[in-house]
């Protein structure tokens, strides 16, 4: 009997896997993932998005996808597709409104199923929207799949940065290169008067990125249009492609 292969495995047909991670929840990791996926598609890349945020899978809503994924052969699962993005979400495999109360081994099983049993097809990039923090899912991904790199999303707030640092440390320990950091909710511009306010402070992520020697990929403002677009099922990269916010994501995608 052949021994089980050890260590991180390449997934046939998938060129690169990029993890999108954050130390804390609610900092905009899913918003960034959805926009980045659409931006990559707009740049002509074949892109997939695996929503592995078991505690709050938001990609079905953000990408405007619903329904149960089909499994014609009872073994493999067909992914969903919208805005040029091939996607699968743990949220499509559980009932809406139902809490995921799985323990570690079940989470790992679900992640492996989404990686290996979904018919991703040929992809240039598979983005993985991870749960916040340094838990089982992130570790399993890094240990089982050949992850090319991780992007860390944080707000400029100290408490968020503190946790982001732990995430970076975890990826470094698992030999996953940090591709860069994205500062989300960087500044807020009042839609009435244009006044700019730094709700969560400003520049914290830039300072941190410099300290760690990793690139700051983008600064994304706290912006009503970004929130409205995601809630409506089409990220701002799709709804307002000419906006500065959308262009920021396009720039990150181009260099990825």
Residues that bind ligand ADP (CB under 6 A): 22, 25-31, 56, 58, 184-185, 220, 222-223, 226-227, 230
Burial 192-225 (b: 16+ CB within 10 A, else e): eeeeeeeebbeebbeebbeebebbbbbbbbbbee
- The least CB distance from residue 228 to ligand ADP, in Å, is 8
- Assign residue 74 a region (left: φ > 0; alpha: ψ between -120 and 50; beta: otherwise): left
Nearer to ligand ADP, 20 or 40 (CB): 20
Of residues 152 and 185, the one with the C-beta less far from ligand ADP: 185
Q: Report, in Å, the least distance between residue 65 CB and ligand ADP.
A: 16
Whether residue 67 is annotated as binding a ligand: the answer is no
Is 56 assigned to a binding site? no
- Is 125 assigned to a binding site? no
Tell me whether residue 29 or residue 250 sits nearer to ligand ADP (CB atom).
Answer: 29
Q: Tell me whether residue 28 or residue 180 sits nearer to ligand ADP (CB atom).
A: 28
Judge whether 25 is annotated as a binding position: yes
Bind-site residues for ATP = 23-30
């Amino acid at each position: 009997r052949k021994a089980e292969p050890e260590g991180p495995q390449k997934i046939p047909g998938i060129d690169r896997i990029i993890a999108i991670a954050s130390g804390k929840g609610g900092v905009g990791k899913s918003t960034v993932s959805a926009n980045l996926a659409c931006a990559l598609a707009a740049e002509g890349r074949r892109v997939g998005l695996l929503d592995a945020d078991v505690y709050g899978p938001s990609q079905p809503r953000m990408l405007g996808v619903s329904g149960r994924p089909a499994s014609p052969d009872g073994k493999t699962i067909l992914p969903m597709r919208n805005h040029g993005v091939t996607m699968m979400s743990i949220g499509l495999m559980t009932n809406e409104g139902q809490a995921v109360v799985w323990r570690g081994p079940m989470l790992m099983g679900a992640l492996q199923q989404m990686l290996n049993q979904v018919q991703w097809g040929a992809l240039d990039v598979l983005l993985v929207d991870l749960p916040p923090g340094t838990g089982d899912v992130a570790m399993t991904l890094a240990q089982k799949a050949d992850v090319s790199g991780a992007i860390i999303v944080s707000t400029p707030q100290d408490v968020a940065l503190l946790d982001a640092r732990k995430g970076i440390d975890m990826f470094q320990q698992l030999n996953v290169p940090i591709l860069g950091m994205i500062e989300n909710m960087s500044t807020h511009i009042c839609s009435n008067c244009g006044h700019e306010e730094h709700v969560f402070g400003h520049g914290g992520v830039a300072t941190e990125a410099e300290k760690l020697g990793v690139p700051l990929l983008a600064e994304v403002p706290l912006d009503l249009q970004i929130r409205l677009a995601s809630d409506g099922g089409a990220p701002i990269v799709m709804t307002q492609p000419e906006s500065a916010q959308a262009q920021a994501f396009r720039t990150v995608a181009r260099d990825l």
